[in-house]
Amino acid sequence: VAATLARDRRDPLHAECALKLLWVIGPALALSWAGLLLLTLTTGTPVPVEQWAVLALGLDPRFLWITALPLALLAGLVLLGGAPFHFLIADVLQGVRPWLAASAVVALQVSGATWLSQRLEGVIGFPEGRELVRSLLGFAAFAALGTGAVTLLVQRRPERRVGTLASLNGGLILVVLATGRTPTPGDLAAWAAHLALAVAGAATVARFLPTFAGQAPGAPLFRRHPWTGIAGLYALASLAGVPGTPGAMLWLASARSLAAANRTALLLVLALAWLATLTAAMRQWRQAFGVSAAGMTGEQAALVAAAQATGRVPLEARVALWISALGLVALGAARLWRG
């Protein structure tokens, strides 16, 4: 991902994002590999399921695996983009071209979810390890949801809001893992498919949204192609978990997992984070369409005329917005049918 971002030397924003990824993810991977090696040396096997079975015998020093396990999980936490690493996702979505930014973010977060799921496979058979994982990932989920909710309420740039929403969706994976169970391949595939479609649509429409608050003329996209703009906002709404979208099903499933596991405090934080995402989504909808023409001053009307004259919406962007929206509708219908 970093190499792809840095391929264009003339674009300093791409190079800056690539350097940030290397500075943060590089040390995290090094520490995680050290933790994996320590677990392998302690148990004599690199297979996670066999490692838990060996550790359950209680023959190895406890401080070794207690040190190695958090290190082994660190790379997954960083790649998911939860706090305090949530700035990575927002920086990529703000500084990189939309088509490349969405692909990079999805690749990083899916890699993080896969890393954690593979490392924790079979940990339920090792009670001490399961309790340690519940504590570690419960704290990580608490920090990711709480910090993400607060950050979302103070952000003004649409691209960074989309990045924070994506990091909160990564926090949903931490919520499931914090309950002591590992997502099934089907659940992980559904989460990854929703993330890819929602981030692609939301990141594209964010480039056409205004960056200011208050009453102002709407974006040219929503005046020239209102239905295409609504399709993009639907992807943004699904990423925020607005009721009636596939994203809401993911938030509801996470809440049910916490309720079944009696994680009340984390459930309350999840509810507050969901309210913050709804607030951000509704604010973005209001700013996207702006005020009506009847309520504009002469200066604002002049701005609208200038925007309509110069604000061209590329065909590729419109096609991408419709593909994302239709894909999300199909994904939601498939989940309802399967349920």
- The pTM of this model reads 0.86
| pLDDT score of 181 | 81
Examine the pLDDT at 322 and tell me if it is beyond 50: yes
Asked if 238 and 191 count as a contact pair (C-beta separation under 8 A), the reply is no
Q: Are 235 and 205 in contact (CB under 8 A)?
A: yes
188 token code pair = 């992980």
Would you tell me how many other CB atoms lie within 10 Å of the CB of residue 16?
15
**Residue 114: pLDDT over 50:** yes
pLDDT recorded at residue 309: 47
Q: Per-residue pLDDT tens for 270-287?
A: 999 999 999 999 888 887
Residue 63 has pLDDT above 80, yes or no: yes
Q: What is the pLDDT of residue 156?
A: 82
pLDDT tens digits for range 127-137:
888 899 999 99
Give me the mean pLDDT over the 74-82 stretch: 90
User: What percentage of the chain has pLDDT greater than the value 90?
Assistant: 39
pLDDT, mean of residues 142-156:
90
Asked if pLDDT for residue 310 goes beyond 50, the answer is: no
3-state secondary structure the chain: CHHHHCCCCCCHHHHHHHHHHHHHHHHHHHHHHHHHHHHHHHHCCCCHHHHHHHHHCCCCCHHHHHHHHHHHHHHHHHHHCCCCCHHHHHHHHHHCCHHHHHHHHHHHHHHHHHHHHHHCCCHHHCHHHHHHHHHHHHHHHHHHHHHHHHHHHHCCCHHHHHHHHHHHHHHHHHHHHHCCCCCCHHHHHHHHHHHHHHHHHHHHHHCCCCCCCCCCECCHHHHHCHHHHHHHHHHHHHHHCCCCCHHHHHHHHHHHHHHHCCCHHHHHHHHHHHHHHHHHHHHHHHHHHECCHHHCCHHHHHHHHHHHHHCCCCHHHHHHHHHHHHHHHHHHHHHHHHC
pLDDT digits (tens, 9 = 90+) for 180-196: 888 888 889 989 999 99
pLDDT digits (tens, 9 = 90+) for 212-221: 555 555 567 7
